[in-house]
Amino acid sequence: MRGSERRARLLEALGLGEIDVDDLARRFGVSASTVRRDLQQLSDTRVVRRTYGGAILAGASAETTLDQRLAVNGPEKQAIARAALALVEDGQTLILDAGSTVAAFGRLLLDRRLRIITNNLALLPFLARAPGIDLVVLGGSLRATSMGTVGPLAIEALQRMTADRAVMSADGVVAGRGLCEASLDQVALKSAMIAQSQETIVLANAGKLGRAEQMAWAPLPRRWTLVTDAAVSQDQRQRLAEAGACLVVASA
């Protein structure tokens, strides 16, 4: 496991309250000294605060950067992205949200014929050179952590358009509550994306299901589609189905 991926996983573990260095070392298959060095590096950037025997997040919740999220669960994200391709038909209009899993999905669309509306700036270098893509970019305020635009300008532009499907990810997906994110700007835009689309598709690995670490929420429609990986538990399958989700489980 690369250092960047390990530190991103450390942040996720700390977000769940896990602070024991020895336990984290066993989980990641490294020495305790390696974990301590990772924690010190995160502490140097003020993401975490060191404690006796471990560390805690520096704030109420720590939002990882896009690069850090891209380094985590790469095979699962690619499998989810490939499974989501079957839900898209040429000629459709898609809204693509910001996020690492949506970015993985967007990169698979380069040979398709689609109209894409997006605030995902990380995708622009790829989609802009695709001959069959009619690309519309939402303006607004930049969130550097996710490389996406948010705010009133993005929402106002989006309200002038409609789409067949909105494809989005989230920091957490909770049955009966919806999608959680770090800011109200993010969930306001997600809610607008859902409202302007005939169908909502959420791309989320199994580790995000049931997670409610962030403070802002975007409710989901009565019927929606979740594309996740094979690690999803039977309990989560049942809860999500009861919450109106049509589950698509990606194979490895």
Domains of the chain (ranges; CATH) run 3-62 (1.10.10.10), 73-250 (3.40.50.1360)
Answering whether pTM is above 0.75, one says no
Identify the band that residue 134 occupies on the pLDDT scale cut at 50, 70 and 90. Answer: very high
Length of the chain in terms of residues written: 252
% of the chain with per-residue pLDDT over 70: 85
Q: pLDDT value at position 178?
A: 94
Q: At what angle do helices 21-28 and 32-44 cross, to 10 degrees?
A: 110
Residue 47, pLDDT > 80, answer: no
Identify the band that residue 53 occupies on the pLDDT scale cut at 50, 70 and 90. Answer: low
> For residue 244, is it left (φ>0), alpha (ψ between -120 and 50) or beta?
left
Q: pLDDT value at position 144?
A: 83
Q: Which residues, at least 6 apart from 231, have a Cβ–Cβ distance to it below 8 Å?
A: 76, 205, 206, 207
At residue 8, what are phi and psi to the nearest 5 degrees? -65, -40
